[in-house]
Chain A
Amino acid sequence: MDTLDLARWQFAITTVYHFFFVPVTISLVAITAGLQTAWYRTGKEKYLRLTKFYGKLFLINIAMGVVTGLVQEFQFGMNWSDYSRFVGDVFGAPLALEGLLAFFLESTFIGLWIFGWERLPRLVHLGCIWMVVLGTQLSAYFILAANSWMQNPVGFRYNADRGRAELTDLWAVLTNKVVLVTFPHTIFAAFMVGGAFVAGVALWHLVRRPTVDKDVFRSALKIGASVVLVASVGVAISGDLQGKVMTEVQPMKMAAAEALYETEKPASFSVFTVGTLDGSKEIFSIKLPYLLSFLATGHFDGEVKGINSLQDAYEQLYGPGSYKPNIPLTYWTFRLMIGVGMASAAIALWLLWTTRRGRAPTRWLVWLAAPLPLLPLAANTFGWIFTETGRQPWLVFGLLPTASGVSPSTTSGEVITSLVGFTALYGVLAVVETKLLLRTIRGGLAGTDAPPDTAPDQPDKPLSFAY
């Protein structure tokens, strides 16, 4: 493998791994803030206990999100220095905004929230976790604006002298039509993970320890499953809008999502296909007529451009070369994203139905406790693999091929070192984090029942430690 392939593998591994923690962080902090608000408003102890319990799980998760995020910022420069030179003038601004407006907010107020239980008035302490929520939302928006610019570059001009893209309209970058649909899609998808996590943990407790804190976990199960259902509707609607924008700005990605080689009008959507290995010949397929036309254009008889005609058009526009992404990869990740996402929503619906009006979940349901959050998490991963590999061979669509972005002087030995190093380190940390998470989940609500002493310390009383 050459430096380019190694750098791509490192980016894929570290980014997919980072994004295991991101959706959980975004949603779990908001759910925790909601629980704490419920406690503040109603004074019911169960909400306080759930706040502390899920808050602890959130903290275990976000620690991993924070440290793996550092790698993301550094590796643009380390492995993709020519990309950084080309896009820095445009892409750097939302990244800097993310740091200035989001990361400072998140990190500072999370410290205040962890250590502030006994030091801050209740309302101020509650405000702290809402500031963290705000920080995660802003962070998501700015980084998605940066990514959306790579999918659909706007608000810039190409400076031929400097050989780089230069920002001409920051507002256009921040209101790129791709980010406007990608942001809700990503946030709703994140809430499917967090809701499913809350429900899955509660389900495990209800089945395995049916007599311990039953009422509290019943509330958690219902809250979590409801969040999954509402979010799944949001994911579907925003995903549908996103499909239409994608057809407009990146038609090749839409064609690749269906492995549609020839232009069709109307176009059908295949649920499942057995084909040749490169995906160009179909052997067996289950098809839903008209559906792809509707997903791509909003009309049941709309025309969807095929890969071959787009390839011809791009050769005219950009010169000779292949403009096709890896078709089997885009085809299957697109289907798996939708399929496993829908499966988790179905499980959530089933859980709400089977526990209606005080019914206890049956024992075998415990087998759904782990798949419930893992399915939407996998859907998030598939979605990102689809959207990033579907942009290939471009790094910035229409402007910069991926092969032109890699660091010219970085050696393959260096990239192998960091690729192996990060993969090994991430592997070990995954084991440590999962074990700690499961241990904390099994520990249940023990130690969460003492209401905090909200009286601010006396002036001469020293601070007791909280770690």
Chain B
Amino acid sequence: MELTTVWFVAIATLWTGYFVLEGFDFGVGMLYRVLGRNEPERRAAISTIGPVWDGNEVWLIMAGAATFAAFPEWYATLFSGFYLPLFAILVGLILRGVALEYRGKRDEPVWRARMDAMIVIGSVLPALLWGVAFGNIVRGVPLDADHEYVGSFGTLLNPFALLGGLTFVAVFVTHGAIFLALRTTDDLRVRANRLATRTGVVAAVLTIAFLAWAQALRGDTVSVVVTIAAVVAFAGGLVANLLRREGWAFVGTTLAIGLAVVSLFVALFPDVMPSTLDPGSTLSAVEAASSAYTLKAMTIITAIFFPLVLVYQGWTYWVFRKRVTVEPVAVS
């Protein structure tokens, strides 16, 4: 495979990993306040993502840095063009990161309520806006001949992109609920399982609508096949959830999110930022790419070290594989 294509696949992989992993973090962040009926339950729910959320977020940092290094034009056009949504995403992630770490540091209801609000806002806002951003990437945005974004903030809030935002939120809520059902015990587990069924139906409808629309805009045979596979995986996950097979349900939503993100990237290729103004202004992967030397050097380094990252991140999930129980333990 040509190196530009290799790095397009690498970027797609990083975003896929990010949405699969941070997807359930976002879901748990949106749900724990309502699913947990008292403080011990809420703390148990939030502890399911405690050891892993920070590592999951590095997938985003990595996706950003890899885009910067491998496709500088893509990074420049995307980040300057989607200025205000990215600003709001950053504010959300800052609020959430601080609150997740500080919530347990003071044993006062007012403090916890504030941190809860920060976590909920910091989970909903980025989930919604990443959906909007990816909707716009696939749909295309107004770019001039220098690949500079010439639209406004309002241009980004088109119906297709907003549907993408809602889809991301609904899917992550379901993914998070299934993760909670898998990782907790007793009442909390039962409630999470029931909630996943209800939100899952909504998420399934939104997903089918959004992915079908995306394929209508910019699909080819391969991306349509991947899209169908994503929908089937999601349906399978929901059936497993109904049957209380939590592990399989989680495999289902994981595959569904992964395949859905892949379907968007397959539809996008070989472009990275389609222009809605003039087809000649569309930014392709080849045009956006770094030099052959840079791509080769990074390919070698990534081939050596990325497997290592997967091993120790996988080990973390193995260490914390047991269910989290609800116990009235004092704040540390």
**B5, CB-defined interface residue at 8 Å:** no
Residues of B within 8 A of A176 (CB): none
**B139, CB-defined interface residue at 8 Å:** no
Residues of A within 8 A of B316 (CB): 108, 111-112
* Bound-complex Cα distance A103 to B309 (A): 10
- The 8 Å CB contact of B54, one of A77, A107, A119, A168, is A107
Closest to A406 in B: B80
Does the CB pair B93–A67 fall under 8 Å?
yes
**A78, CB-defined interface residue at 8 Å:** yes
* Bound-complex Cα distance A433 to B322 (A): 32
Interface residues of A in 26-73 (CB under 8 A from B): 59-60, 63-64, 66-71, 73
Closest Cβ of chain A: how far from B212's Cβ, in Å? 31
**A461, CB-defined interface residue at 8 Å:** yes
**A115, CB-defined interface residue at 8 Å:** yes
Does the CB pair A107–B58 fall under 8 Å?
yes
- The 8 Å CB contact of B87, one of A67, A417, A465, is A417
**B37, CB-defined interface residue at 8 Å:** no
Mask, B288-316, CB within 8 Å of A = 1, is: 00110110011001100110010011001
| Given A76-B68, A108-B316, A114-B51: A92 in contact with B290 (beta carbons within 8 A) | yes
Closest to B84 in A: A414
Does the CB pair A68–B91 fall under 8 Å?
no
Closest to A68 in B: B94
**A349, CB-defined interface residue at 8 Å:** no
**A101, CB-defined interface residue at 8 Å:** yes
Does the CB pair A78–B83 fall under 8 Å?
yes
Closest Cβ of chain B: how far from A297's Cβ, in Å? 36
**A367, CB-defined interface residue at 8 Å:** no
Does the CB pair A67–B97 fall under 8 Å?
yes
**B202, CB-defined interface residue at 8 Å:** no
Does the CB pair A73–B64 fall under 8 Å?
yes
* Bound-complex Cα distance A324 to B282 (A): 40
Residues of A within 8 A of B55 (CB): 104, 107-108, 111
Does the CB pair A81–B102 fall under 8 Å?
no
- The 8 Å CB contact of B98, one of A97, A429, A440, A467, is A429
* Bound-complex Cα distance A73 to B44 (A): 32
Does the CB pair B50–A467 fall under 8 Å?
yes
* Bound-complex Cα distance A414 to B90 (A): 14
Residues of A within 8 A of B81 (CB): 409
* Bound-complex Cα distance A421 to B94 (A): 12
* Bound-complex Cα distance A77 to B67 (A): 10
Closest to A463 in B: B322
Does the CB pair A100–B62 fall under 8 Å?
yes
Closest to B310 in A: A104
- The 8 Å CB contact of B102, one of A63, A74, A112, is A63
**B52, CB-defined interface residue at 8 Å:** yes
Does the CB pair B90–A170 fall under 8 Å?
no
Interface residues of B in 310-329 (CB under 8 A from A): 312-313, 316, 319-320, 322-325, 327, 329
Closest to A419 in B: B87
Binding stretch for chain A, among B146-154, B163-171, B223-231: B146-154
Does the CB pair B52–A84 fall under 8 Å?
no
**B198, CB-defined interface residue at 8 Å:** no
Closest Cβ of chain B: how far from A95's Cβ, in Å? 5
* Bound-complex Cα distance A75 to B58 (A): 17
Does the CB pair A166–B76 fall under 8 Å?
no
- The 8 Å CB contact of A63, one of B93, B97, B323, B327, is B97
Interface residues of B in 85-125 (CB under 8 A from A): 86-87, 90-91, 93-95, 97-98, 100-106
**A8, CB-defined interface residue at 8 Å:** no
| Given A103-B58, A167-B293: A96 in contact with B298 (beta carbons within 8 A) | yes
Does the CB pair A462–B323 fall under 8 Å?
yes
* Bound-complex Cα distance A418 to B90 (A): 10
Residues of A within 8 A of B90 (CB): 70-71, 74, 422
Closest Cβ of chain A: how far from B69's Cβ, in Å? 3
**A432, CB-defined interface residue at 8 Å:** yes
Does the CB pair B322–A457 fall under 8 Å?
yes
Does the CB pair A95–B105 fall under 8 Å?
no
Residues of A within 8 A of B57 (CB): 107
Closest Cβ of chain B: how far from A432's Cβ, in Å? 7
Residues of B within 8 A of A122 (CB): none
Interfacial residues, chain B to chain A (CB-CB below 8 A): 43-44, 46-47, 50-55, 57-58, 60-62, 64-66, 68-73, 75-81, 83-84, 86-87, 90-91, 93-95, 97-98, 100-106, 144, 146, 148-150, 185, 290-291, 293-294, 297-298, 301-302, 305-306, 309, 312-313, 316, 319-320, 322-325, 327, 329, 332
What are the nearest 9 A-B pairs in CB distance? A88-B72, A77-B79, A92-B69, A465-B47, A111-B51, A63-B101, A81-B76, A81-B80, A467-B104
12 new A-B contacts at CB < 8 Å, known A89-B294, A96-B70: A67-B93, A67-B94, A67-B98, A74-B90, A99-B58, A103-B61, A104-B309, A108-B312, A111-B50, A166-B294, A425-B95, A463-B323
